[in-house]
Amino acid sequence: MKNNEYDVIVVGSGASGCTVAREMTRKGKKVLLIEKGGRAEWLGNTITVARMIDIPTLLRNYKDIVIFVNNYGGASNISAGSALPPPDKIFGPLGIDLSTETEEARKEMGVNPLPDELIGENNLRLMDAANSLGYHWRKMDKFIDASKCTGSGNCMLGCKTGAKWTGRVFGDEAIKGGADLMLHTSVKSLIIENGKAIGVETTKKDRFYGKQIVLSAGGLTNVHLLRGAGITDAGKGLACDWLSFVQAVVPGTRTIGSTPMSVGTLEHYDDDGIVILPVGPNWALFLGIAALSGPSHLLKFRNFFKYSSIMVKIQDDLTGTIGKGRAFKKPMTENDRKKIDKGVQIVTQIFKKAGAKESTVYPMKPAGAHPSATCRIGQVIDNNLATQIKNLFVCDASVFPQALGAPVVWTVVSLGKRLAKHLDTVVSG
């Protein structure tokens, strides 16, 4: 093979792309992993997060707050480490069985609940309040190694100690196994010959050739690459799992310093598509969302250091479209609004039970941290994540058939493992 020829090219190094790269490297394949962003090393602070987040896309679509991340490891760098297995209600109806891959991932990602001292007093108090009202809160699974965790609660600023699993763990394993990683390299188009994908071209016009090409570059980029290759169904509809951080002043406690989403409940998920987990924005995210909500919201910042925060996250409707470049539309539907409102009502009861005055409850403007479902299984790709173009596959949150409305990472890792098994069995040609 020449230097620019590979068995597998993976575009995008999020949790999914790194999983595919690692699994294919372990199968003895020559793998190239291409990442648009760099590798931020100074983790655990707001400046680094601001450098990892795709700010131009955020500003371009400021009316619909949806977060994209460009860095080695993708959005998993700033996840809260909250682990939910692939939901049966999403993949069961498609006949996709991820049970084997889910169990493999559970072991390799170190999924477990945290001990009480790392969960934090605030979370335990909110859990008691919820359960005394008859809800069913419990300690939630995390992909965090308790022996390395300091309990700072700063998971979403990037983990300083390496306690939290990120895509980088598998990406680094792929590199150790012989994969090539190209950072600061943006794929602009696919090279298609006689109806087959044979490579990718970067914005710098470099060309790389692969027997199998996997797009793991997230909901926007995948759409542009597929459209450029003639797959026009991509990008019709976008999910983002709208979430509202609901804040309240509970005397004697506050969210700062509690490990996010380490307790909570999924009891409203199957029927109502609502997930309730305590987690709050840091000061910068709080100010950012408040500023985009209107000047009066900025005044709420006076309580920032006193707030306890519980997130209401929903399975949103598939609305909106991906436009050109960074543009997208993601209107919130009445149905979405009703789900958020229902979650806010539940959370308000819990805050009151925990000792908050209702007047302090402040549900923040909904934002989306899980852009997904733009290249859906069943519409744009088949159950094996294959496109209609031979040797071209898609594997990340963009393939979800609908909004997950729940933590994503364990699901995309499981999908990445399943795709790798499939790639190993199909003959490229």
Ligand X SMILES: Cc1cc2nc3c(=O)[nH]c(=O)nc-3n(C[C@H](O)[C@H](O)[C@H](O)COP(=O)(O)OP(=O)(O)OC[C@H]3O[C@@H](n4cnc5c(N)ncnc54)[C@H](O)[C@@H]3O)c2cc1C
Tokens of residue 103, six digits: 């169990």
Q: Select from 187, 197, 311, 385 the one that contacts ligand X (CB under 6 A).
A: 187
Q: Select from 78, 129, 214, 367 the one that contacts ligand X (CB under 6 A).
A: 78
**Counting contacts by CB under 6 A, is residue 174 touching ligand X?**
no
Q: How many angstroms from the chain centroid is the CA of residue 74?
A: 8
- Residue at token pair 């009861």: 349
Q: How far is the CB of 271 from ligand X (least distance, A)?
A: 22
Which helix (H) or strand (E) is 382 found in, with range? Answer: none
Instruction: For the segment 305-364, give every residue that binds ligand X (CB under 6 A).
Output: none
- Closer CB to ligand X, residue 106 or residue 249? 106
**Counting contacts by CB under 6 A, is residue 76 touching ligand X?**
yes
Cα separation of 52 and 40, whole Å?
A: 7
Q: Select from 69, 127, 240, 318 the one that contacts ligand X (CB under 6 A).
A: 69
Tokens of residue 154, six digits: 């700063």
Instruction: For the segment 221-240, give every residue that binds ligand X (CB under 6 A).
Output: 221
Q: How far is the CB of 234 from ligand X (least distance, A)?
A: 14
- Closer CB to ligand X, residue 13 or residue 123? 13
Residue 311 · residue 277 · CB < 8 Å: yes
Report the amino acid identity of residue 357.
K
The closest of 314, 337, 324 to 402, measured between CA atoms, is 314
Q: Select from 129, 217, 381, 385 the one that contacts ligand X (CB under 6 A).
A: 217
Tokens of residue 134, six digits: 């008859």
Q: Select from 9, 24, 75, 276 the one that contacts ligand X (CB under 6 A).
A: 75
In Å, what is the CA distance from 170 to each residue of 176, 397, 406? Answer: 10, 17, 22
Q: Select from 118, 159, 412, 420 the one that contacts ligand X (CB under 6 A).
A: 412
Instruction: For the segment 7-46, give every residue that binds ligand X (CB under 6 A).
Output: 11-17, 34-37
**Counting contacts by CB under 6 A, is residue 264 touching ligand X?**
no
Q: How far is the CB of 351 from ligand X (least distance, A)?
A: 22
Residue 298 has a CB neighbour count (10 Å cut-off) of 13
- Closer CB to ligand X, residue 248 or residue 373? 373
- Closer CB to ligand X, residue 21 or residue 127? 21
Cα separation of 240 and 243, whole Å?
A: 9
Cα separation of 242 and 246, whole Å?
A: 13
**Counting contacts by CB under 6 A, is residue 102 touching ligand X?**
no
In Å, what is the CA distance from 84 to each residue of 234, 364, 372, 407? Answer: 27, 24, 16, 6
* Phi (first) and psi of residue 396, to 5 degrees: -175, -165
SS3 call for 364: coil
Determine the size of the site formed for ligand X (CB under 6 A): 40
Q: How far is the CB of 188 from ligand X (least distance, A)?
A: 7
Residue 277 has a CB neighbour count (10 Å cut-off) of 24
Stretch that binds ligand X, among 169-177, 217-225, 248-256, 334-342 (CB under 6 A): 217-225
Stretch that binds ligand X, among 62-70, 205-213, 230-238, 244-252 (CB under 6 A): 62-70
Q: Select from 141, 317, 336, 396 the one that contacts ligand X (CB under 6 A).
A: 396
* Phi (first) and psi of residue 9, to 5 degrees: -110, 125
**Counting contacts by CB under 6 A, is residue 81 touching ligand X?**
yes
Q: How far is the CB of 409 from ligand X (least distance, A)?
A: 3
Cα separation of 123 and 113, whole Å?
A: 13
Name the site residues for ligand X (rule: CB under 6 A): 11-17, 34-37, 67, 69-71, 74-76, 78-82, 156, 186-187, 216-218, 221, 261, 369-370, 396-397, 407-410, 412
